[in-house]
Amino acid sequence: MSFYDATVPAYLQILTSLSGLLTKAEAHCETKKIQPEVLLGSRLYPDMLPLSKQIQLASDFAAKGCARLTQSEVPVTPDTETSFAELRQRLANTVDYLKRFTPAQFEGADSRDVTFPTGATTSMTLKGQEFVNRVSFPNFYFHAAIAHGILRHNGVEIGKRDFLGVA
């Protein structure tokens, strides 16, 4: 299996499922007469980030992870989304961005040095495979799973199949 095949399809699967989750969340708000901003601002715990930020971060870890692995320019996406539609558009834009990568761009990426920020003024360098396993995938799946958890906690009727995008 190529390094491209081990990364890009995994990101695409969950980004697509997150869009489906947001569609179900929006329908839930309409059915239950909940203002969308209430659900978009929901958190699992007060010191955790809200749903909207979880979606933005999942999107960022996918896009920036692929950019860093391929030594492409790392995209900058302002976090300005305030609605379900805007968050779905961000996910769609990220999917479109990832689909522009080719397997050839990922050749050798598993052993390539990948440098990424670890704070406002610090950075770290890991080999590509280590970067994916220790940084990009864990953060991507964490924020995606937290988004699912926030929605489930707030009564949106979703399950594991929705998270996996096979519902």
Phi-psi region for residue 156, left (φ > 0), alpha (ψ -120 to 50) or beta?
beta
Q: Name 113's bridge partners.
A: 127
97-101 average pLDDT score: 98
Burial environment of residue 74 by CB neighbours within 10 A (0 to 12, 13 to 18, 19 or more): middle
Q: What is the pLDDT of residue 166?
A: 83
Task: Check if the beta carbon of residue 8 is closer than 8 Å to that of residue 98.
Answer: yes
pLDDT tens digits for range 46-75: 999 999 999 999 999 999 999 999 999 999
DSSP-H helix ranges across 41-83: 51-69
For residues 99 and 87, what is the distance between their CA atoms, to the nearest angstrom?
18
**Which of the listed CATH numbers 2.160.20.60, 3.30.70.380, 1.20.120.450, 3.40.50.150 matches domain 3-164?**
1.20.120.450
Give yes or no for residue 102 having a pLDDT over 80. yes
Q: What is the pLDDT of residue 28?
A: 98
pLDDT tens digits for range 117-167: 999 999 999 999 999 999 999 999 999 999 999 999 999 999 999 999 986
For residues 113 and 109, what is the distance between their CA atoms, to the nearest angstrom?
8
Q: What is the pLDDT of residue 144?
A: 98
DSSP-H helix ranges across the chain: 3-32, 36-40, 51-69, 84-99, 128-131, 137-153, 160-164
Q: What is the pLDDT of residue 167?
A: 62
For residues 67 and 40, what is the distance between their CA atoms, to the nearest angstrom?
28
Mean pLDDT in the chain?
97
**DSSP assigned state of 31:** H
Q: What is the pLDDT of residue 117?
A: 95
